[in-house]
Chains A and B, each alone.
Chain A
Amino acid sequence: QKEVEQNSGPLSVPEGAIASLNCTYSDRGSQSFFWYRQYSGKSPELIMFIYSNGDKEDGRFTAQLNKASQYVSLLIRDSQPSDSATYLCAVYSSASKIIFGSGTRLSIRP
Chain B
Amino acid sequence: DTAVSQTPKYLVTQMGNDKSIKCEQNLGHDTMYWYKQDSKKFLKIMFSYNNKELIINETVPNRFSPKSPDKAHLNLHINSLELGDSAVYFCASSVTDYNEQFFGPGTRLTVL
Contacts and interface: CB of A to CB of B under 8 A. Distances in A.
A49 to B, nearest CB: 5
Interface stretch (B66-74, B79-87, B101-109): B101-109
Contacts of A98: 45, 97-98, 101
Contacts of B43: 44, 88, 100, 103
A102 B102 CA distance: 18
A80 interface: no
Contact of B41 (A45, A86, A90): A86
Given A43-B106, A49-B100, A97-B97, A103 B90 contact: no
Interface of A: 31-32, 34, 38, 42-46, 49, 86, 88, 90, 92, 96-100, 102-103
Given A90-B101, A92-B98, A99-B45, 16 more contacts: A31-B98, A32-B98, A42-B105, A44-B90, A45-B103, A46-B100, A46-B102, A49-B100, A88-B43, A92-B97, A98-B45, A98-B98, A100-B43, A100-B45, A102-B42, A103-B43
12 contacts: A34-B100, A43-B103, A44-B103, A46-B100, A46-B102, A90-B101, A96-B97, A99-B45, A102-B40, A102-B41, A102-B42, A103-B43
